[in-house]
Amino acid sequence: MQRTLEEMPSNVEIKAAVRNLQLLTQRAKELSKSTGTLIRQHDTFFNVQKGRLKLRNLMDGTGQLIFYERPDVDGPKLSNYSISLTGDPDGLTRVLSDALGVKGSVKKERSLYLVGQTRVHVDTVEGLGHFMELEVVMREGQTAEEGEAIAQQLMEDLGVKKEDLIVGAYMDLLLTDKKG
């Protein structure tokens, strides 16, 4: 049974390059009133006809199979997604690799800070550098515009500039680097 986009969970997302990691991290700690949570992730992206499909290995014997669709534009963008948990990320990666082929992989260390309904990620991505990602987890009945307003305000509070915004996923940036 396929769900419509309206039935899928969604978030409003912003991704940006980080110029001053120490300053951004300090502001994230202050806004979240926490020291954050360190998460190591290895995402394997698979070839699919629409959207993106990745298996996130959480490097602790667990993982998440994540399908998502979002436009490739800078600034706030609405992302619809589905997630399934797995206790065998390595085995599932092998099966999906055999079935679909691998588009590429992303290894990152992520510090997670929770600010209201927003997940603030401060990421160090292998082969790319430092980035910040905001995910405003949409509540039932909330409009995309409300989520975008929350993201814009938080971007300002964190000192992220519009010229630092990036389009697409880390996978896209890695693939572009390999071509160039």
- What DSSP string describes 52-86? EEEEEE-SSS-EEEEEEE----SS-EEEEEEEEEE
Examine the pLDDT at 2 and tell me if it is beyond 60.
no
pLDDT of amino acid 167: 84
The fold for domain 9-179 equals Hypothetical Protein Pfu-838710-001 (2.40.320)
Measured CA distances, 59 to 28, 39, 168 (Å): 24, 9, 24
pLDDT band at 46 (very low <50, low <70, confident <90, very high): very high
Please tell me which residue, 12 or 117, carries the higher pLDDT value. 117
pLDDT at 52 (0 to 100): 93
pTM of the model: 0.85
Q: Is 6 exposed, middle or buried (0-12, 13-18, 19+ CB in 10 A)?
A: exposed
